[in-house]
Amino acid sequence: MAAAALSIVSFFILLIAVFAASTSPPSQDPWYEQPSNISDYAAGEMIRFRSVSPQLESILSLPVNVSVKAVYQYLFRTTDGLGDAVASAVTLLEPYHSDPSKLVGYQAFYDSANVDCSPSYTLRAGNENLGSMSSGLNVSEDIPFVSPRITSHFMDKLTTFQIAAALNLGWWVFTTDYEGLEAEFSAGLQSGHAVLDSTRVILDEGPSVGLSGNPRYALWGYSGGALASTWAAELQTSYAPELNYAGVAVGGTTPNISSVLQTINTGSHAALAFSGIYGQSKAFPNLTDWLNANLISSKSAQFYSIASGCFSQATSMGSGQDFYTYFKNGELSFYDAVPQSVFQWSGQMGLHGTPIAPMFVYKATGDEISPVEDTDALVKKYCAAGARIEYHRDLVGNHETEAISGSASALEWISDRLSGKPVSDDCNTQNVLLSSLSVESVALLGEELFTILQTALGGML
Ligand SMILES: *[C@@H]1O[C@H](CO)[C@@H](O)[C@H](O)[C@H]1NC(C)=O
Ligand SMILES: *[C@@H]1O[C@H](CO)[C@@H](O)[C@H](O)[C@H]1NC(C)=O
Ligand SMILES: *[C@@H]1O[C@H](CO)[C@@H](O)[C@H](O)[C@H]1NC(C)=O
Ligand SMILES: *[C@@H]1O[C@H](CO)[C@@H](O)[C@H](O)[C@H]1NC(C)=O
Ligand SMILES: *[C@@H]1O[C@H](CO)[C@@H](O)[C@H](O)[C@H]1NC(C)=O
Provide the residue count of the chain. Answer: 461
In the reported structure, the alpha carbon of residue 280 is separated from the centroid of ligand 3 by a whole-number distance in angstroms of 23
In the reported structure, the alpha carbon of residue 112 is separated from the centroid of ligand 4 by a whole-number distance in angstroms of 23
Q: Ligand 1 pocket test: which of 36, 37, 46 has the largest number of ligand atoms within 8 Å of its C-beta?
A: 37
Contacts 24+ apart (CB under 8 A), 333-337: 333/294, 334/258, 334/261, 336/290, 336/294
**Dihedral over alpha carbons 308, 375, 200, 346 (to 10 degrees):** -50
Which atom of ligand 2 sits closest to the CA of residue 65?
1
Which atom of ligand 2 sits closest to the CA of residue 63?
13
Instruction: Report the pLDDT value the prediction gives residue 456, as an integer from 0 to 100.
Output: 62
Q: Which ligand is nearest to the CA of 314?
A: 3
In the reported structure, the alpha carbon of residue 285 is separated from the centroid of ligand 5 by a whole-number distance in angstroms of 9
Report the interhelical angle of 439-457 vs 399-418 (nearest 10°): 160
Local confidence pLDDT in tens for the 461 residues of the chain: 445 554 544 544 444 444 444 468 899 999 999 999 999 999 999 999 999 988 775 665 556 667 889 999 999 999 999 999 999 999 999 999 999 999 999 999 889 999 988 989 888 764 333 222 232 333 333 333 222 223 333 344 566 778 888 998 999 999 999 999 999 999 999 999 999 999 999 999 999 999 999 999 999 999 999 999 999 999 999 999 999 999 999 999 999 999 999 999 999 999 999 999 999 999 999 999 999 999 999 999 999 999 998 887 888 899 999 999 999 999 999 999 999 999 999 999 999 999 999 999 999 999 999 999 999 999 999 999 999 999 999 998 888 878 878 888 899 999 999 999 999 999 999 999 866 566 666 677 777 677 766 666 654 54
Instruction: Report the pLDDT value the prediction gives residue 143, as an integer from 0 to 100.
Output: 31
Domains and CATH numbers, the chain: 2-256+347-456 (3.40.50.1820), 257-346 (1.10.260.130)
Buried b (16+ CB within 10 A) or exposed e, 142-161: bbbbbbeebeeeebbbbbbb
Q: Ligand 3 pocket test: which of 130, 138, 302, 313 has the largest number of ligand atoms within 8 Å of its C-beta?
A: 138
Instruction: Report the pLDDT value the prediction gives residue 437, as an integer from 0 to 100.
Output: 60
C-beta atoms surrounding 198 within 10 Å? 28
Whether 138 is in the pocket of ligand 3, judged by its Cβ within 6 Å, is: yes
With a Cβ cut-off of 6 Å, ligand 1 is lined by: 35, 37, 40-41
Q: Which residue CA neighbors atom 5 of ligand 4 most closely?
A: 259
Q: What is the 3-state secondary structure (H, E, C) of the chain?
A: CHHHHHHHHHHHHHHHHHHHHHHCCHHHCHHHCCCCCHHHCCCCCEEEEEEECCCCHHHHCCCCCCCCCEEEEEEEEEECCCCCEEEEEEEEEECCCCCCCEEEEEECCCCCCCHHHCHHHHCCCCCCCCCCHHHHCCCCCCCCCCCCCCCCHHHHHHHHHHHHHHHHCCCEEEEECCCCCCCCCCCHHHHHHHHHHHHHHHHHHHHHHCCCCCCEEEEEEECHHHHHHHHHHHHHHHHCCCCCCCEEEEECCCCEHHHHHHHHCCCCCCHHHHHHHHHHHHHCHHHHHHHHHHECHHHHHHHHHHHCCCHHHHHHHHCCCCHHHHECCHHHHHHCHHHHHHHHHHCECCCCCCCCCCEEEEEECCCCCCCHHHHHHHHHHHHHCCCCEEEEEECCCCHHHHHHHHHHHHHHHHHHHHCCCCCCCCCEEEEECCCCCCHHHHHHHHHHHHHHHHHHHHHHC
Q: Which ligand is nearest to the CA of 25?
A: 3
Q: Tell me if 398 sits within 8 A of 366, measured CB to CB.
A: yes
In the reported structure, the alpha carbon of residue 168 is separated from the centroid of ligand 2 by a whole-number distance in angstroms of 14
Instruction: Report the pLDDT value the prediction gives residue 85, as an integer from 0 to 100.
Output: 98
In the reported structure, the alpha carbon of residue 258 is separated from the centroid of ligand 4 by a whole-number distance in angstroms of 6
Q: Which residue CA neighbors atom 1 of ligand 5 most closely?
A: 286
At 233-282, the pLDDT tens digits run 999 999 999 999 999 999 999 999 999 999 999 999 999 999 999 999 99
CA 104/CA 88 separation, integer angstroms? 18
In the reported structure, the alpha carbon of residue 256 is separated from the centroid of ligand 4 by a whole-number distance in angstroms of 6
In the reported structure, the alpha carbon of residue 290 is separated from the centroid of ligand 5 by a whole-number distance in angstroms of 11
In the reported structure, the alpha carbon of residue 37 is separated from the centroid of ligand 1 by a whole-number distance in angstroms of 6
Q: Which residue CA neighbors atom 6 of ligand 3 most closely?
A: 138
